[in-house]
Structure 1
Amino acid sequence: MRYVALLPLLLLCACYVDPYTHAPAAAPTDWYQAGWNDAMSGHPIRSNLVIAHMHNDENVDREEWLKGYAEGQQRICDPQLLLLLGQSGKSFPASCETLPDVSKRRTQWEKGNHEEFQRSFLR
């Protein structure tokens, strides 16, 4: 009779599944996409140490990351997009700071920011 009292405990223990047993293996980092994402998020160029830490991967492919960063930088630093970012109240992306014509791009962003300020002030 006393073994019957242990039966529910035995059944509960048998149903336990270790959550780490079936964990999927980590996929290799897409360094091009990581660079593109950093640029599009407005981040400045990062060191390999920071990139490795952020992606939990010591094998940084700097060349691929820089290619992706350059593509993302061209997209987010497009003058028309900067105008829209300024109009929406977003800050000027730090990823645009290293471009040679940053003053023209910042002027475009400031124009959008000023337009939005005037619109919100007149409401």
Structure 2
Amino acid sequence: MPRFYSVLLVLCLSGCYVDPYTHAPTPAPTDWYHAGWEDAMAGQPLRSNLVLAHLHNDDKVDRKAWLKGYARGQDRICDSDFLYLLGLSGKRFPASCETVPAATSLQSAWQKGIDAGMRDGTMR
């Protein structure tokens, strides 16, 4: 029986072996357009290059591409009908929509959704 445990111990320990010559994969470069689009769609506010570099672990921030993607994401999320539905479900107003020219009317549409959700009890 002790022989069985010693074999089992050797098998368990050999399963933990890491080859020191294995190289870590090289991360792909950041797709700054897509990163900007995702930030806008997630309702994130505008971010500085320092914050972007830190979040994506990439010092070579392509601000122009990020802003282009962010604007495209704003076009998608900052829609009065969509914001009404966000309000209706009790979600917060996206910070990415606070800087668009029609922010006041968009916030009104969102507030109407909040009010309707509170009135009808549909808000979760």
Shorter chain as denominator, the TM-score bin is 0.7 to 0.9
Residues 1-123 of structure 1: matches in 2 within 5 Å?
Answer: 12=13, 16-18=17-19, 21-120=22-121
16 and 80 in structure 1: CA distance in 2 versus 1, 3 angstrom threshold? same
Deviations 1:24-63 (A, max 9, x none): 2101100001000110111110000000000000000000
Identity among equivalent positions (%) equals: 60
Unaligned runs of 5+ in 2: 1-5
The alignment's TM-score, normalised by the length of structure 2, stands at 0.82
TM-fit CA distance, 1:120: 1.0
Distance 1:110 1:23 in 2: 49
TM-fit CA distance, 1:20: 8.4
Unaligned runs of 5+ in 1: none
Distance 2:15 2:87 in 1: 59
Deviations 1:44-99 (A, max 9, x none): 10000000000000000000000000000111111111011011110000111111
User: Considering only aligned residues, what root-mean-square deviation do their CA atoms show, in Å?
Assistant: 2.7
